[in-house]
Structure 1
Amino acid sequence: MKTVVSLFIGAAIITVILLGFAKFRQDTVFEKPARPTSPPLSAQKTPEQTAPVTTVATGLEVPWAIAFLPEGGDMLVTERSGSVRLVRKSGGLDPNPLLTIEDVEEIGEGGLMGVAIHPDFPQKPYVYFYYTTGQRGSQTTNQLVRYTFEDGAFSDKIVLIEAIPGAPNHDGGRIKFGPDSFLYITTGDSQEPSLAQNRNSFAGKILRVTDEGKPAPGNPFISGGGNPLVYSYGHRNPQGISWNSSGNLWATEHGRSAPTGLDEINLIESGQNYGWPTIQGDETRSGMVTPKRNSGPTTTWAPSGAAFVNNSLFFAGLRGETLYEAAIKGDNVTQLKEHFKGQFGRLREVVLSPDGMLYVTTSNRDGRGSPSNEDDRIIKIDPNKL
């Protein structure tokens, strides 16, 4: 009997000790830490991965430029080979071209490039194109033409500016109407760098003209000292232009081909000399303008189309295969961000739609990319999610 009682008392003591130890375990600071609640790195997404990105059209052949029709928001898209395509706002590429410009010569980087719609469309139902055409003597040339566009059909082609020097490379090609309702045209140096410094040549310039292709009032050389169509000079191969909310014109420009680098972002002002080929990168010289930002001597953006969203200049990178975002404050570039690096391949055009979305074209079928089955494409990006 004593043995049973002793066993009972011993068991009770052990139970009390174990309960006390358990309480100690609950209260002690040596408790095992909780697992982290954040997802593993493999599950975490960058803003670019979570940003809404929509493929609007596929199956294009080297799309170069986009212009939005004011009625309905459908897009006119140029293909370098000479076709003008219609892409619906709702998505989808019409199977047949709206227009094929027969005298387009797709030579190297040249071909059908820029497109612009008259700011008073449809009251003035005009669409403008910039393209490379045949040789005049020994010189390949580019020209600006205007078509009438009514009821979904093009007619009445007029050549407004001809004999712009052209070449297999360095043809410029961007055309846009500015906030002053004049048409701005970027031209390359046509592989003759010295022409960029010749104010009487169309090569290596930004031109500013009326809707009839005449010198715009207020152009810097309208009274002499250079061609009256010239707005700025000393450019190598500018391919992107856009205006910020203050009305200032900014441009992207291809730097040297060899070894690499020194691509540019420039603030464009009337009559200014942007230095090519005399200065590059951070170099300075009296009477010449140094870029607000350059890519450095070892990095190549190969910048093309550009569009402002608030105080950021978005521009496409061809060799860089990146959508770049340059933060602008006053007259300076304060920061440069990279989006979608390598995700879509070579990027050519960036344009802001009437509903505030960015539309970007790939250029993977231009002979320098690695096209997928869907290329070339137009993708839509919400800039507010970047």
Structure 2
Amino acid sequence: MGRSGFVAGAVAALLLAAGCSSPPSAPSAPPSSPSAPSSATASTATSPARVRVVGTLTRDLKSPWGLVELPGGDLLVSSRDERTITRVDARTGRKTSLGQVPGVVPGGEGGLLGLALRDGRVYAYLTSATDNRIVRMRYGGGPGDRLGAPEPVLTGIPKGPIHDGGRIAFGPDGMLYAGTGETGKGSLAQDKGSLAGKILRMTPEGRPAPGNPFPGSVVWSYGHRNVEGLAWDADGRLWASEFGQDTWDELNLIEPGRNYGWPVVEGRAGRPGYTDPVVQWPTDEASPSGIAYARGAIWAAALRGQRLWRVPVSGAERSGEPQAFLKGEYGRLRTVLATAGGTRLWLVTSETDTRGTPGPGDDRILRLEISP
């Protein structure tokens, strides 16, 4: 499962933050490439953290993807390929199936993907026979409660065998955000009339949210290749993880109406009109899917990179050096979720997604403790 460590120049490229919070007319310069420090040096950030896996909550999950925490602490996890949502007891790990979600048609990278919760409803991003869409289902959350029938929230998101996006989350403003992919057709990412290759912002009912940059549209930002991670920091800023093609994966600070470059640029380019990522990784060190914010940092679950990244972001665009944890120890990592207290993370592995090498017990939800 292990991958090679930092390559020459890679970490140095990580250390140069782009001007994502500055106006588009003032792009950052291309990064320089001095020799990379050792992993020990790279971990000595202004406030380095420690991560400890304190247990496996549950195991034997199949193609797990979305993860949300119920008010009482239990978890809901989606299965991309089995089309099911399962409740997991946060103390015992006992699994209770809530059933299949009607209308899901798995295939390639599509299926039953991200989950979100609001006002007694479970929201789900899924692939149907004709499109990617967001639906919501009533769920009381009590023992024996089942999911209600899906109600469409937003339909017409293009689907494809790859790059279906799929992460959804409610922001601090109460609006629903979604990360989409360009389905392998790069031109859709630059087409503001298409919902592909975008970050979307909408009301809980699926209408364009007040203050969106393009009147009458749910599009919040564009020029994305495939967004599978969304998280807000303590200052309410939106961060998103994005898969690159052959060279650079990205962590972006999202501003409304900005163009994040794909397919014109990948990674940092310093070109007027395009917003550069705050962090970029070589694709074999990342392929970042889910992200979460906890204790002053963005935490990114890496698929191909098979590690958990920590990027300190408190106080400035980025306030310390990225750190890598669990390299190669648990295989591909799909989703990370911070608990309400901020000292614990839930981490979902992804060895059964057809691209991993599953072993006994895969896939699983790990319980992590973090400390400064």
TM-score strictly above 0.5 = yes
Counterpart Cα distance in 1 of 2:238 and 2:150? 29
User: Hey, what's the Cα distance between the residues in 2 that align with 1:236 and 1:264?
Assistant: 10
Residues 128, 146 of structure 1: 8 Å contact kept: yes
Q: How far apart are 1:299 and its partner, in Å? A: 3.9
Is 2:351 the partner of 1:361?
A: no
- Displacement of 1:91 in angstroms is 2.7
Of 260, 264, 275, the residue aligned with 1:274 is 260
1:131 to 123, 126, 133: 126
Report the Cα distance in structure 1 between the residues aligned to 2:340 and 2:90, rounded to whole angstroms: 11
- Do the aligned residues in 1 keep the contact of 2:53 with 2:366 (CA within 8 Å)? no
3-state SS in 2 of match to 1:196: helix
Per the alignment, do residues 333 and 174 of structure 1 end up closer, same or farther by CA in structure 2, a change over 3 Å counting?
Answer: farther
Equivalent of residue 326 in structure 2, options 321, 324, 340: 340
- Which stretch shifts more, 235-244 or 100-109? 100-109
What's the counterpart of residue 5 of structure 1?
none
In structure 2, C-alpha distance between the alignment counterparts of 1:48 and 1:209, rounded to whole Å: 35
Match of 1:290 among 271, 276, 281: 276
Structure 1 segment 241-280 matched on structure 2, within 5 A: 241-256=230-245, 260-280=246-266
C-alpha separation in 1, matches of 2:210 and 2:177: 13
Identify the structure with bigger relative contact order (alpha carbons < 8 Å, sequence gap 6+). 2
Larger gyration radius, structure 1 or structure 2? 1
Which residue does the alignment assign to 2:4? none
Distance 1:237 1:365 in 2: 20
> Partners of 2:102 and 2:85 in 1: how far apart?
11
- Percentage of pairs with the same residue: 41
The answer for the alignment partner of 1:77 in structure 2 is: 77
How far apart are the structure 2 equivalents of 1:48 and 1:327?
10
| Contact 1:109-1:168 at 8 Å conserved across structures | yes
Inter-partner Cα distance in structure 1 for 2:349 and 2:341: 21
Contact 2:247–2:266 (Cα < 8 Å) also in 1: no
Do 1:58 and 1:93's aligned partners in 2 also have CA atoms closer than 8 Å?
Answer: no
Report the counterpart of residue 137 of structure 2 in structure 1: 147
1:211 counterpart residue number: 204
Cα deviations across residues 292-321 of structure 1 (Å, max 9, x unaligned)? Answer: 11114x644110110111221111000000
**Contact 2:53–2:369 (Cα < 8 Å) also in 1:** yes
2:122 maps to amino acid: V
**Equivalent residues, number:** 319
Q: Which amino acid aligns with 1:112?
A: L
- Gap runs ≥5 in structure 2: 1-47
SS at match of 1:272: coil
2:49–2:371 Cα contact (<8 Å) kept: no
Q: Are 1:169 and 2:158 matched, yes or no?
A: no
TM-score scaled to structure 1, two decimals? 0.80
Higher share in helix: 1
Query: Compared with structure 1, are the counterparts of its residues 349 and 322 closer, same or farther at alpha carbon in structure 2 (3 Å cutoff)?
Result: same
User: In structure 2, how many angstroms separate the alpha carbons of the residues matched to 1:207 and 1:344?
Assistant: 32
Q: CA deviation at 1:93?
A: 3.4
Aligned to 1:229: 218
Aligned 8 A contact 1:295 1:301 in 2: yes
Q: CA RMSD in A?
A: 1.7
After TM superposition, give the deviation of residue 53 of structure 1 in Å: 2.2
State whether structure 2 residue 51 is matched by structure 1 residue 64: no
**Distance change (3 Å), C-alpha of 1:291 and 1:59:** same
The alignment status of 1:100 with 2:100, answered yes or no, reads yes
Q: TM-score, normalised by structure 2?
A: 0.82
Query: Cα gap change, 1:290/1:49 in structure 2, threshold over 3 Å: closer, same or farther?
Result: closer
Cα displacement (A) at 1:332: 3.0
Flag the 1:91–1:354 CA change in 2: closer, same or farther, 3 A.
farther
- Over 3 Å counting, the alpha-carbon distance change for 1:276 and 1:50 in structure 2 is closer
Cα distance per residue 1:228-284 (max 9 Å; x no partner): 10000000001111111000011110001xxx3300010000110000000112213
Rounded to whole Å, the distance in 2 between the matches of 1:324 and 1:50 is 11
Please give the alpha-carbon distance, in whole angstroms, between the structure 2 residues aligned to 1:49 and 1:205.
34
Once structures 1 and 2 are overlaid, which stretch shifts more, 354-363 or 165-174? 354-363
Q: Which amino acid aligns with 2:129?
A: G
Gaps of 5+ in 1: 1-46, 119-123, 136-140
Q: What is the alpha-carbon distance in structure 2 between the residues aligned to residue 155 and residue 50 of structure 1?
A: 38
Distance in structure 2 (CA, Å) of the matches to 1:267 and 1:50: 24
The whole-number CA distance in structure 2 between the counterparts of 1:158 and 1:285 is: 42
SS at match of 1:295: strand
- What pairs up with 1:8-27 in 2 under 5 angstroms? none
Structure 1 segment 184-199 matched on structure 2, within 5 A: 184-199=177-192
CA distance in structure 2 between the aligned counterparts of 1:204 and 1:333, rounded to whole angstroms: 28
